[in-house]
Amino acid sequence: MVSEAMRQLGAQGNPMRVLFEYGKQREAIVGPENVFDFALGNPSVPPPARVNEVIREIVNGPRADAIHAYTSAAGDLEVRRTIAGSLNRRFQAGCRGEDLFLTAGAAPALCACLKGLCCPGDQFMVITPYFTEYRIFIEGAGAETVEVPAAEGTFLLDIPAIEAALTPRIKGIVINSPNNPSGVVYPRKNLKELGALLRRKGREFGAPIYLISDEPYREVVYDGVEVPWVPHCYENTLVCYSYSKAISLPGERIGYVLVPPSMEEHDAVYQAVAGAGRCTGHINAPSLFQQVAAACDGMVSDLTAYTVNRNLLYNSLTEMGFTCVKPEGTFYLMMKSPEPDAAAFSQRAKELDLLFPDTGSFSCPGYVRIAYCVPTSRVEQSLPRFRQLAEQYGLQGK
Ligand code: PLP
């Protein structure tokens, strides 16, 4: 007998991955050039050249033995101090190596925070649309998920809606900016308003309301848009970061939790994160990539292709008559379904071998998400299919 809840999770699979697997099968039948897979956020641009040089230097260097060894559970202290130094230079974070807990990417960082914070009966708030796995991570930590929609039209934080949903049972909120799937970046004013609300409500309830800021796309932004340092807007923020997207290392599995010095009961929160890691089998983040992260923190892959793709897709799709949210960051574009049932729209696109999921699994019906982290040639070649789709819906192109 197995856990029925876990069996179901394993059997379902994530809808993006299901589509991606379908794409592979379809490619075998009609040829890869005829399938346009916009399902997964798998970066297509290579890591900065320096990343590979650093790997070579470490592998051939005097401490090569250490790259295979266990490190401290929280990560090598020198590595953490180097990353903290980079955060202090770039964001005036005022943090120490001892405030960082290195993880195998943002997903385990989120799980460690949630499991470390949640007590029986707690709830955690998420803002719709949100990364599909949050609900699974929250429920895995024994808490309940409370959904609050983002502001209509802008997809920013809707402060009055958040206030209306806050109760003493809400242990914290997960936010994600730049946002997957909307591509929106929360401006400083919006974050400061959230901080002021959480501070006021925390005082009223007699317990801090924690903010988990999930930031795997922190550096993936366009037109120089500012991504504010969230702990400067609210002191009780835990930052979850990943090197998966900005330097294109999703398979290497490296990221961190930062518990900033401003956190109330800092040491207890940090220990709870570490304890939750222990409880889920974390031993240490991959040793080699801890060192790579230290040497490469703050670097960004060449985002030219994503910028070109964003402009090409946004301009072409809106010209065809589709309604899109213009992404300020990430490599996702949200497009409104021209029929009320976005799953049916996604299915119709699939019949043209255009693969993108509807945003029902992001708890935001009525849209689809197009992951444009693909070579620009693929976006160019897909446009006639999008035009065909627009024609099927009788959209009025310009
Ligand atoms: N959070 C968001 C919003 C994501 O989009 C992703 C991955 O796509 C993750 C977390 C997980 O990232 P990682 O690869 O670092 O575990």
Domain boundaries, the chain: 4-48+302-392, 50-296
Residue 64's pLDDT band (boundaries 50, 70, 90)?
A: confident
Q: For ligand 1, atom 2, name the residue with the nearest CA.
A: 131
Quote the ligand 1 centre to 81 CA distance (angstroms).
24
- State if residue 285 touches ligand 1 by the CB under 6 angstroms criterion: no
* Residue nearest (by alpha carbon) to ligand 1 atom 8: 41
Query: In the predicted model, is pLDDT for residue 397 greater than 80?
Result: no
- 67 pLDDT exceeds 80? yes
- Is residue 289 over pLDDT 80? yes
> In Å, how far are 229, 308, 329 from 223, measured between CA atoms?
18, 12, 9
Can you tell me the mean pLDDT for 361-367? 94
| Ligand 1 pocket member 166 (CB < 6 A) | no
- Ligand 1 centroid to Cα of residue 147, in Å, is 19
Q: Is 178 in the pocket of ligand 1 (CB under 6 A)?
A: no
Ligand 1 site, residue 136, Cβ cutoff 6 A: no
Output the CA 220–ligand 1 centroid distance in Å.
Answer: 13
pLDDT band at 113 (very low <50, low <70, confident <90, very high): very high
pLDDT computed for residue 209 by the predictor: 98
250 Cβ closer than 6 Å to some ligand 1 atom: yes
In the predicted model, is pLDDT for residue 398 greater than 90? no
How confident is the model at residue 14, as a pLDDT?
A: 83
* pLDDT band, residue 65 (cuts 50/70/90): confident
Give me ligand 1 centre to Cα 183, in Å.
Answer: 14
Q: Is the peptide bond before 178 cis (omega within 30 degrees of 0)?
A: yes
Q: Check if 107 has its Cβ closer than 6 Å to any atom of ligand 1.
A: yes
Residue 305, pLDDT > 80, answer yes
Q: How does residue 12 score in pLDDT terms, banded at 50, 70 and 90?
A: confident
Q: Could you identify the atom of ligand 1 that is nearest to the CA of residue 130?
A: 3
Residue 184 CB–ligand 1 contact under 6 Å: no
Q: What is the largest CA-CA distance in the chain?
A: 65
Measured CA to CA, the distance from residue 367 to residue 285 in angstroms comes to 36
CATH number assigned to the domain covering 4-48+302-392: 3.90.1150.10
For residue range 130-161, list pLDDT tens digits in order: 999 999 999 999 999 999 999 999 999 999 99
In short, whether 177's Cβ falls inside 6 Å of ligand 1 is: no
CA 255 to ligand 1: nearest atom: 15
Check pocket membership of 255 for ligand 1, CB cut-off 6 A.
yes
pLDDT score at 66: 83
Residue whose CA is at the smallest distance from ligand 1 atom 5 = 180
Percent of the chain with pLDDT strictly greater than 90: 95
Residue 344 C-alpha to ligand 1 middle, in angstroms? Answer: 27
Report how far ligand 1's centroid is from the alpha carbon of 63 (Å).
31
Q: What spacing in Å lies between the alpha carbon of 371 and ligand 1's midpoint?
A: 13
Mean pLDDT over the full length of the chain: 96
For residue 396, name the pLDDT band (cuts at 50, 70, 90): confident
Residue 373 reports pLDDT greater than 90 = yes
Separation of 115 CA from ligand 1 center, angstroms? 17
As a whole-number percent, the residues of the chain with pLDDT over 70 amount to: 100
Q: How confident is the model at residue 221 (pLDDT cuts 50, 70, 90)?
A: very high
394 pLDDT tier (thresholds 50, 70, 90): very high
Best CA proximity match to 245, nearest among 113, 340, 119, 371: 371
Q: Is the CB of 180 under 6 A from ligand 1?
A: yes
Pocket flag, ligand 1, residue 301 (CB < 6 Å): no
Confidence of residue 188 (pLDDT cuts 50, 70, 90): very high
Predicted TM-score (pTM) of the model is: 0.96
- CA–CA distance, 98 with 269 (Å, rounded to integer): 13
Where does the pLDDT of residue 269 fall: very low under 50, low under 70, confident under 90, or very high at 90 and above?
very high
Which numeric CATH code is attached to 50-296?
A: 3.40.640.10
Query: In this structure, what token pair is assigned to residue 164?
Result: 């209306």
Kindly provide the b/e burial profile for residues 315-335, where b requires at least 16 CB atoms within 10 angstroms of the residue's own CB: ebbeebbbebbbbbbbbbbbb
Does the pLDDT of residue 316 top 80, yes or no? yes
Q: Is the CB of 220 under 6 A from ligand 1?
A: no
Q: What is the pLDDT of residue 139?
A: 96
Q: What's the rounded Cα separation, in Å, for the pair 179 and 327?
A: 9
What is the mean predicted confidence (pLDDT) over 244-254? 96
Of ligand 1's listed atoms, the one at least distance from the Cα of 243 is 15
